[in-house]
Amino acid sequence: MKHLIIIFMIMLVNVLNGINIGSFPEFQNHIKDESAQVADMKLHKQLKQARISREYEVGDQETYWRYDLTIMPPGWLQTPATCRAVGEHCYVFVADEDWQVNMDEADVQVVLNYLEYETMNGDDYGAVEMDTLHFGNMPDELDNDLKLIVFYSALGSYNGSTFDGYFSSYNQVTEAEAQQMNPPGHSNECEMIYMTCYPLDPTDPIRISVLAHELEHLIHWGGDINENLWVDEGLAELAMVYFGLPDPISQFNSNPDNSLITWNQDWADYVKTMLFFTYFAEQFDDGTIISDIVSESANSISGISAQLIAHGYTIPFVGIFNNWTIANYLDDPDVDQGQYNYQNLELPIFNITSNHTSYPAQGNGTTNAWASDYVRLIPNGQNFNLHLEVDHTISLGVLRISNEVATTVDFYNVDGSVDINLPEMSEEYTKMILVIPNSNYSNLAYNYEVTEFTAAEHDIAEIKTINLKNYPNPFNPATTIKFYLSEESSVELAVFNLRGQKITTLINEQIPKGEHAITWNGINKFGTPVSTGMYLYKLKTKNHEIVKRMLLLK
């Protein structure tokens, strides 16, 4: 089921004044770009200054332009409508031809309740206020009225595909300007969301969840009209999560090698962006970072990175992406204090790329930009050596998973090629997962060989390097972090909180081969004590990047 206007994706090719339009969402995105150009013109800005105030009461009548969705690309219809309800944040209009046929007063009160007073997650607010609190204020482009118009009519269907609702950027420019766009269109010169009352049930809560999705697009139009589609759609999907009725998770989990930042109009694109921004919001939303991303002038990864810095986070987008790829496979609240977990979504199983049960084992593959592959190793008690070759730097994630003991997550920096004695396996662990994330704008090529090994004397140094540890843990007031270098290396050892904010740097220099230890006394970089809680410490050397956790109790 897909809102953005479509329940079953309409894939066709129309040629519109020389522009290829492959689907209704593509048509909508093209119109957004057209309206962005108009809204930036000097004449449009002058017209905004001369706008006339407009507000409605129950019983007021208007004739609105709307899409004719029985043809593609959409045509236009003029539809008389009457205001049937007025709330604090919205008006509800119903097409006169549908009144008492496809929608009545009882229906209006049901939808007004969801629009104004409650969501599926609670009764703190309705869908309209929910969106403005999370994503920012609605624009007030032309009508000098801060309320949203929700216009119900029989949107119908096309070739068997039915429509929930939509936001049209045409309404953000004047009628005269809309007729000059490519293709020419019409404007109601107001902030409006169109919703169906036939053949779909307008009172079904999923319709309001879809409306929250479309309203995010309107808010994003006002906040950053030029935002990349994957961000705008992902945040619109997040609106449905906030409402309490998210889209079903399918397709993306079957093929996680799907670039997060590439938009192909597939169902998996909606799912992957919904998962990313849900994970991002759960881990990093401090109350304003989501709305600040919406209004951030920089786009895509650059915009998200700018707001992470502005909100005091030191973890880069790459680190969040790598953690997200692990969360998609694990979704476990008990690992690293929920760092790889979804609170508001139940994830299906993510497909693996390769599965190995006997050794030696070999494999190779390619991973799309900003996507991930998963390789499963079934250990049967063995320890493994991994030889991995990649054509650009990655942060390899290694998961040891068990139903009996705590799952562990280790990271290794891989630049070109590396040989790693993987974390010790035992019969308690049922499987090891190699997470191969490609946090890069070009495709990743990799190949690997996995062999069983016995820890001989010459292996001990390498094993000690990997098994970074601190003692005591939990601790109060201090703990000692120990590690071993098998060769001289540049070393950075730092402490972070669970939001990825750096608390202090303990080491940042060239360190000789051998045993090393340093004590952390729970003091941050400003010289003040930190509070009770879980902290992460990360050791980064030339060939390794290892993260462990420690608990301070006071």
Beta strand 148-153 pairing with 90-95: parallel
Q: Which of 456, 490, 524 is the last residue of a domain?
A: 456
Q: In what order do the strands lie in the sheet with 479-485?
A: 469-471, 479-485, 514-520
CB 412 within 8 A of CB 339: no
Do 94 and 194 fall within a single domain?
Answer: yes
Do 451 and 507 lie in one domain? The reply is no
Q: How many domains are contained in the chain?
A: 3
Q: Give me the amino acid identity at 188.
A: N
Residue 319 lies in a domain: no
Strand runs labelled E in 37-175: 61-68, 75-86, 90-95, 148-153, 157-158, 161-162, 165-166
For residue 254, tell me if it sits in a domain.
no
- How many angstroms separate the CA atoms of 16 and 138, rounded? 30
> Is residue 165 domain-resident?
yes
Instruction: Residue 371: give its domain's CATH number.
Output: 2.60.120.510
Residue 260 inside a domain? The answer is no
Q: What is the C-alpha to C-alpha distance for residues 253 and 499, in angstroms, rounded to an integer? A: 26
Asked if residue 113 belongs to a domain, the reply is yes
Alpha helices in 144-248 (DSSP H): 175-178, 205-223, 229-243
249 domain-assigned: no
Cα–Cα distance, 189 to 145 (Å, whole number): 11
Q: pTM for this one? A: 0.81
Q: Per-residue pLDDT tens, the chain, 554 aa: give them.
A: 334 433 322 222 222 223 333 455 665 666 666 666 666 666 656 666 666 677 899 999 999 999 998 888 889 999 999 999 999 999 999 999 999 999 999 999 999 999 999 999 999 999 999 999 999 999 998 888 999 999 999 998 888 888 999 999 999 988 988 998 888 999 999 999 999 999 999 999 999 999 999 999 999 999 999 999 999 999 999 999 999 999 999 999 999 999 999 999 899 999 999 999 999 999 999 999 999 999 999 999 999 999 999 999 888 999 999 999 999 999 999 888 789 999 999 999 999 999 999 999 999 999 999 999 999 999 877 788 899 999 999 999 999 988 777 788 888 888 888 888 787 777 778 899 999 999 999 999 999 999 987 654 434 444 444 557 788 877 888 898 988 887 888 999 999 887 778 899 999 999 988 888 899 999 999 989 998 888 888 888 877 777 788 888 77
For residue 208, what are the domain limits?
Answer: 14-243
Residue 429 lies in a domain: yes
Q: Which two tokens stand for residue 468?
A: 């970074």
CB 519, CB 525: distance < 8 Å: no
Helix (H, G, I), strand (E, B) or coil at 234: helix
Question: Are residues 478 and 546 located together in one domain of the fold?
Answer: yes
> Where among 185, 220, 243 does a domain terminate?
243
> 399 and 473 share a domain?
no
Kindly give the pairing relationship between strand 371-377 and strand 75-86.
unpaired
Is the CA virtual torsion 496, 500, 503, 507 positive or negative? positive
**Same domain, yes or no, for 138 and 209?**
yes
Task: Say whether both 381 and 362 belong to one domain.
Answer: yes
Q: Determine, yes or no, domain membership for 407.
A: yes
Q: Are residues 159 and 233 in the same domain?
A: yes
| Among candidate residues 206, 221, 243, the one where a domain is terminated | 243
